[in-house]
Structures are given as C-alpha cells and as structure tokens.
Amino acid sequence: MIRLATEQDILWLIEQMLIVKSTTAWKDVPGAYHADTLRPFLLNQLRAADSVCYVWDDPVDAFCGVTYGRMHVPPHLPYVFEWGWAGPPKHAVACWRACTHWATRRGAVLACRSVSQPGVSIRETLTWERL
C-alpha cells in the first residue's frame, strides 16, 4: 500500500537517507548531508507544491521523493528529479512509479533518479526515462 508521506514520517525518512549515506563514500565527505540539514529539507519538500514523497505503508519500509522542474536548455522539457529513495526494491520501485505518475499528471515527459553505488568512490548513476 502506498500513501503520501507526512511530517510524521520525517524521522523515519531521515533515518533511511542516513542509512543510504552510510553505505557509500558520502559518509566520508565533510559537510555531506546529516540529520540537522535533512529535517528542514524534508519539511520544505513535503510542503512544496512542486514536490511529492510517497511511502510504502504496512509496514513503512520504503519511500521515494521527487521534485518537478523544467530543463534549463531549450526546449525546456518538464521533468521530475528524484531527491531520495530507499527500501526493499519492490516497494521502493512502487513508490518511484507513484512519483512518476504524479509527475506525468503535471506534464512531465522525463524522469531522473540516481543509484548510489556502494564502495569507496562517490559514484551515482543517473538514470533518465521517458514518461
């Protein structure tokens, strides 16, 4: 079951984002995101009209959050960009699909998400897909 994230989910979202961080080289980057910066960021994203975050509920074990925007270069295509996702793959992908459906209803034609690669180098693969 998928539902919109609420402010009551923020502590859990922070925990999940920090777990992802701890498995990548981001853990060694000074000034990289931490709980004190994630809380206001997540509050802003949950309140913003151009962002959405879905969680897998029952139990809560996955999430995906995205922000809608337009490319800076012509033809300024509308897109959605993932700013966080975690959880068991089946549930996380279901949340991603809910986010892309939300974006499509707003006119997005492209979607981008990053896949962090565990290890010692900071490497994230950006995956674009046509909606």
Q: pLDDT tens digits for 97-112?
A: 999 999 999 999 989 8
If you search the block for the tokens 């962002």, which residue do you land on? Answer: 51
| Structure letter (DSSP) for residue 29 | S
Count of beta carbons in the 10 Å neighbourhood of residue 90: 9
Output the pTM of the full model: 0.88
d(CA 85, CA 62) in angstroms, rounded, equals: 7
Domain count, the chain: 1
58 pLDDT band, cuts 50/70/90, is confident
Distance, in Å, from the CA atom of 105 to the CA atom of 50, rounded to the nearest integer, reads: 12
CATH code of the domain in which 50 resides: 3.40.630.30
d(CA 31, CA 71): 28
